[in-house]
Amino acid sequence: GQNIDQPTEMTATEGAIVQINCTYQTSGFNGLFWYQQHAGEAPTFLSYNVLDGLEEKGRFSSFLSRSKGYSYLLLKELQMKDSASYLCAFSSNTGKLIFGQGTTLQVKP
């Protein structure tokens, strides 16, 4: 079967670093995606990993281990505007995205 799991909520302090973990199980895999969604808005694409390793994009980095079915999103130098939901999703062989429940991140001053 297919499933994907991530923590429901996290809290971090402005200026700090936070890591949001995601584990998944699937037979067909075409990549792991992270999206950011602010309340009342559509999800916006953050990152894509298809090979093992770390992809860095500014303050955001994403890591993938396909053998472990594991990914994380790393946010550095947290800002108040980073308070949002972060959605982990994998792409199946058919191009469909299967989303996790999302992690609501609250950044505190």
Partner 1 sequence: SAVISQKPSRDICQRGTSLTIQCQVDSQVTMMFWYRQQPGQSLTLIATANQGSEATYESGFVIDKFPISRPNLTFSTLTVSNMSPEDSSIYLCSVTGTEYEQYFGPGTRLTVT
- Contacts with partner 1 by CB under 8 A lie at 30-31, 33, 41-45, 48, 50, 87, 89, 91, 94-102
Cα separations in angstroms, 3 against 16, 23, 34, 85: 30, 8, 16, 19
Q: Which is nearer to partner 1, 95 or 109 (CB)?
A: 95
Q: Which is nearer to partner 1, 94 or 109 (CB)?
A: 94
Q: Which is nearer to partner 1, 10 or 97 (CB)?
A: 97
Report the nearest approach of partner 1 to the CB of residue 85 (Å): 8
- In the chain, the amino acid numbered 57 is K
Q: How many CA atoms lie within 13 A of 16 on its CB side?
A: 13
